């Protein structure tokens, strides 16, 4: 069972590393004002004092999720979806307040996608799919049962209690659900949306997350032979000429303050760090390259795109006694937590 749960935890963190946010960069403001049929009010100062009618209304609502394995559109109750998203995106062993923060982010993500779906034609009428490469990861109750095994009842009850505690709460900025970006761990500072996706977002700025440095597998190495590097680069970039001086195929990179490679000369072209991350399947775009014995060694820091909430950072804050509200306010500054 321990081995099985370990695999599950790794899968959770793999999903968080996926570049699923750029589709959310579109502003849904106009549609958002037309969509809501319920009054939005400020959340109570006491998180336990939730309006039961709001919870009941949400339990009766569904998300339409395209199952990429069967190509069927599933009608998933909002509560079940958030439980399945939190279970898929964050290890259940994390602290309760960190999991609550993840639940709010997952709910906010889904609500924004529902609004954006009004203008999409690629999902056959669904709000989003369960493809973690494109959207937020989601596990059904049956999938969670398979992953948790003999600990299912304990872990599932924990997830249910966490989601129920924050179910009506959504993060807003400028009267619309925010781009609730999250990742496994940063390089020690989270990254701005501008540096990763090329679009400025007021509440997705770089903040200190130095506790990530002590996270498991914070720094990792991956090695490629010069032949592999040549094949991967030229396949990704038609017309690229690397030259005969193998050791100097990669030039001097420019870095952001958070350590992300912004640009790096490669042969006759210039690549972004995000492009090289994709080409070489790197854990992050915070990396250094060394050449040794005809091999290129990529040393990465952190895991994921680095924007928004750091999951390991959130867990560290929870261990220090901070609440989910304080965690969300830190990683998404100037946003407002409201009940829907």
CA distance 334 to 136: 24
Distances (CA, A) of 75 to 57, 80, 268, 337: 16, 10, 50, 27
pLDDT of 174-217, one tens digit each?
999 999 999 999 999 999 999 999 999 999 999 999 999 999 99
CA distance 35 to 28: 10
DSSP 178-215: ----EESB-SSB-B-HHHHHS---TT----B-GGGGGS
Closest to 59 in 3D by CA, of 163, 175, 155: 163
Residue 129 has phi, psi (to 5 degrees) of -115, 175
Element (H, E) at 279: helix 273-279
**If you compute the radius of gyration of the chain from its CA atoms, what whole number of angstroms results?**
21
- Residue 52 binned pLDDT confidence (cut-offs 50, 70, 90): low
Helices (H), ranges, 118-271: 141-148, 152-166, 193-197, 226-236
DSSP code for 77: E
Q: Are the beta carbons of 131 and 9 closer than 8 angstroms? A: no
pLDDT of residue 56: 61
As a whole number, the mean pLDDT across the chain is 86
CA angle 192, 198, 199 (to 5 degrees): 75
Distances (CA, A) of 31 to 159, 173, 336: 31, 15, 19
CA distance 249 to 267: 5
pLDDT of residue 123: 83
pLDDT of 208-245, one tens digit each?
999 999 999 999 999 999 999 999 999 999 899 999 99
CA distance 6 to 153: 18
């Amino acid at each position: 069972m321990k081995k099985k749960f370990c695999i599950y935890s790794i899968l959770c963190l793999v999903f968080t590393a996926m570049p699923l946010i750029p589709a959310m960069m579109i502003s849904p403001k106009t549609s958002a004002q037309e969509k809501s049929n319920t009054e939005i009010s400020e959340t109570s100062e006491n998180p336990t004092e939730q309006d039961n009618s709001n919870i009941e209304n949400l339990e009766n609502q569904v998300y339409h999720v395209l199952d990429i394995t069967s190509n069927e559109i599933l009608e998933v109750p909002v509560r079940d979806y958030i439980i399945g998203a939190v279970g898929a995106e964050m290890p259940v062993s994390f602290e309760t307040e960190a999991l609550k923060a993840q639940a709010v982010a997952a709910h906010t993500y889904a609500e924004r996608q529902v609004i954006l779906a009004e203008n999409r034609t690629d999902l056959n009428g669904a709000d989003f799919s369960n493809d973690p490469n494109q959207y937020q990861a989601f596990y059904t109750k049956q999938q969670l049962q398979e992953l948790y095994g003999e600990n299912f009842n304990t872990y599932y009850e924990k997830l249910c209690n966490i989601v129920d505690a924050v179910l009506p709460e959504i993060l807003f900025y400028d009267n619309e659900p925010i781009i609730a970006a999250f990742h496994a761990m940063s390089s020690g500072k989270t990254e701005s949306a501008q540096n990763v996706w090329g679009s400025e977002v007021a509440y997705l700025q770089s903040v200190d997350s130095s506790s990530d440095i002590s996270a498991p597998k914070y720094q990792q190495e991956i090695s490629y032979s010069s032949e592999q590097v040549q094949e991967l680069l030229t396949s990704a970039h038609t017309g690229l000429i690397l030259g005969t001086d193998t050791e100097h195929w990669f030039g001097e990179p420019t870095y952001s303050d958070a350590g992300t490679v912004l640009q790096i000369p490669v042969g006759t072209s210039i690549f972004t760090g995000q492009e090289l991350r994709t080409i070489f399947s790197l854990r992050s775009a915070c990396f250094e390259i060394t050449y040794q014995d005809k091999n290129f060694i990529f040393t990465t820091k952190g895991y994921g795109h680095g924007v928004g909430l750091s999951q390991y950072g959130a867990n560290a804050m929870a261990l220090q006694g901070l609440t989910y509200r304080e965690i969300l306010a830190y990683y998404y500054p100037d946003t407002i937590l409201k009940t829907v």
